A and B are shown apart, each in its own frame.
Chain A
C-alpha cells in the first residue's frame, strides 16, 4: 500500500512524517526540481509513505503544487493522509475539499488538538467527518498523541471511502456532470478535471469543446465572476457551512502570540531584538564554537604540539604533542616502506583536505540547531516579515540577511541557511551572493596585505572591503533581479504562524540530517578536489615528486598551470605575470587560509612568515598598494573554497547552476580587481 502525506506549510507535516516513519526515511529530490522529497515506511507496517511539499491548493502556478499534482495523478497513491491545522480549519479544509475531488481516499489528521482550547475552538469531529465524507483522526504531532490511532486506522483499511460529495450549488454541479459525461472513459480523476475546466486551468484545456465552453460561460455570467474566482468562492462558502455546523468558537483573551508580537514586531524594538538574536546566533555558531573547536579538529587531523583554544578574547594553550590522524597514517606508511609521495598524499592531500572541511562541522551543527529553533518557534517568519521591505527591492528576501550575517563567519553555514528562503529566485540569488561577504578564512589574506601595505590605516582598508562587499551584493542583487529574473513578479504571501516552544526531537532530527549530508559531501566531492590540487602541486610533468628541497614547487604541474593562468592576474597586478600568485589563488580553492600559506611556502618561508619577509622575495616584490588591494578584492569575490562550492551545489540543486554561479563570482572578482589594479598601473 502506498500513502501520500499532504498538508499546508506550518501544519506540522514534517513532525507527523517523522512520527509515522521513525528513522525509516529516504531523502532525495523530486525529479527536475530542487524540492526535497522524503519517503519512508510507516512504523510497524509495510505501508510506504511519501511526504509531498507543503501546499495550500492545486493551482497550476507553483512548482510545489505541480509536483504534488503530478504525484497524485501518476503514482496514484492508495490513500492521502491530509494533515490540517485545527486552529485554522477554514483555510485548511480548502485543500481537503480539492483532495476529495480526486479519485483517492482521504484520511484527515486533525493536528494540534492540544491548541484548540487556547484558540477558543471546539470541533465536533464525528459531525465533521460525516459532513466531509472522510475519516478524521485527532492528533498532536508534536506531543506524539493520536499517532497510533492514525496508524491503526490506515493499516486496518477501515477508513471511509471517497464518495465524491457534491459541494457546489446545483448549477455548477450540473456543468460538472455535463463535463464528466463528455470525457472519454479512460480519463482519470473526472470530477477533479471537470472543476479544473471551469477554473480555466491551462493544463486541462485540451478536454474543452465548444459545448462545454458555452456552458461554463453561461455559468460565469450567472454568478458574475470568472470560473477561477467562482470555484474558490463556492468552495469557501461550502467550507463555511460545514464549519458553522461542526466548529464552535469562544471569545478568548488576547493570545500569547499577539502579546509577544507586540514586543518582537514593535516599531522601535523589532530591529534591536533582531540584532541581538543574530549576534547570539553568530557568536555561538561562528565565534564561540568556531574558536573552541577549530584547533581541536585541526589537531585531530593534522596533529599539533600545542593546543590553543580561544573564547571571546581569552585564550588558553596546552602542550599536547598530539600526533594527529594525518601524520599517524603518514608514519604508518613510511614505516611499512611507502614512498615519500604516498605519505604526502595521505597526510596533505586526503587528511589535510578533508580536515580543512571538517573544521566546519561543529559550527554547522550549532548553526542548524539555532536555525531550527528559530524556525520552529516561529521567529524566522517574523524576520522575513519585517525585513522584506528592505530586501525585496534588491531581488532578495527578508531572510537573506541571515546568510549574509553568518557568511561573515563562514560561507558554508551562510549558504546552507539560505534554505529557509521560500522564493526560489530569491534563494538562488542569496546563495550566489553570500560568499561575497568576507569570511573568517579570508581575514588572514586581508590582514597580511593590509598591514604590510597600508600600515596604520589597515583597519580602514579592512573595513572598506566589508563596505565594498555589501555595496556589490546590493548592486548585483538589483542588477540580476532586473536582468535575469525580470518578468518574475516576486510576491510576499506568507503566514505568521503562532509562536511555539521548539520540539527537541524535531530539532535533533533536523540537525542530524543536515549535518550528515554535509559530512557525506566532505568524504566524496571535496576529497576528490583536494587530492587533485595536491597532485598537481606535488608532481612535476615528469612525475618527479616535489619535496621542497631538490625539486621546488616552481617546477610542479601546478606552477605551469599557474603560469598558463597568470594572464588573468596581469592587469590587477599592475602588468605583472606571476605564476606564484596564480598558484596561491588556485590553492585558495581548498581553503582560503591556504592562499597565505601557499604564498609563504613559494617564497621559501615557513607558514607564519611576516609580510616584510614575503614581500622582500623577488617573486612577490612587485606588489604595490594598488595591486595589493586588487588582489584582496579578487580573493574576496572570486570562487569560494571547495567546502562552500559544495554547499552551493547542494543548495542550488544542480551542477549547471553551480558552475554558472562560480563563473559569475569569478567574473565579478576579475573585473573589479582588474579595474583597481589597472588604475594603479596607470597612476604608476
Chain B
C-alpha cells in the first residue's frame, strides 16, 4: 500500500489522506465522473461540510466517513478528488 502523508491540523490535502478519527472540512472537489460528482453532492458532500473518518475496512479500503449526522462509505480512489483542510 502506498504511504500516506500524515496531515496535521490546519494542513490541506485530500480526503483520502485523513486517518481514522481525524476531521476535515471540505474545500473543493475536482472530479471527471459527472455521475459520481453528483452522487457525492446528493449525499451531502458539499463545501464547508465537516467530515470525520470513522471506520476503515479491514483491508484498508473502503472507508466509512461521518457527515451530516450519518455515515457513508466511499472508496479511497473516489475520495482522492475531494480537497479538505484538517480541523481536528
Contact = CB atoms under 8 A, between A and B. Distances in A.
Interface of A: 56-57, 59, 61-62, 87-91, 94, 225, 228-229, 232-233, 236, 249, 258, 261, 265-268, 270-271, 385-390, 392, 489, 491-496
A275 B42 CA distance: 35
Contacts of A261: 55
B20 to A, nearest CB: 11
A388 B61 contact: yes
A492 B73 contact: yes
Q: Which of A225, A236, A261 has the most CB of B within 10 A?
A: A236
A389 B39 contact: no
B41 A232 contact: yes
Interface string B51-88: 00011011111101000111111110010000000000
20 contacts: A61-B38, A90-B70, A228-B37, A228-B41, A229-B46, A233-B47, A270-B57, A385-B57, A386-B58, A388-B61, A388-B75, A390-B59, A392-B75, A489-B36, A491-B33, A491-B35, A492-B78, A493-B40, A493-B43, A496-B73
Contacts of A266: 58
Interface of B: 33-44, 46-47, 49, 54-55, 57-62, 64, 68-75, 78
A224 to B, nearest CB: 10
Given A61-B34, A229-B46, A88 B75 contact: no
B57 A388 contact: yes
Contacts of A496: 55, 64, 71-73
A389 B72 contact: no
A56 B61 CA distance: 24
B78 A493 contact: yes
Contacts of A59: 35, 38-39, 42
A236 to B, nearest CB: 5
A496 B59 CA distance: 17
B19 to A, nearest CB: 14
A236 B59 contact: no
Contact of B62 (A233, A268, A271, A385): A385
Contacts of B38: 57, 59, 61, 228
Nearest to B40: A493
B44 A90 contact: yes
Contacts of B75: 388, 392, 491-492
A637 B8 CA distance: 54
Contacts of B34: 61
Contacts of B40: 493
B30 to A, nearest CB: 11
B36 A491 contact: yes
Given A59-B39, A61-B38, A492-B74, A389 B61 contact: yes
Contacts of B69: 87-91, 249
A116 to B, nearest CB: 12
A261 B70 CA distance: 15
A676 B36 CA distance: 44
Given A89-B69, A386-B58, A94 B42 contact: yes
Given A61-B38, A389-B59, A491-B36, A236 B46 contact: yes
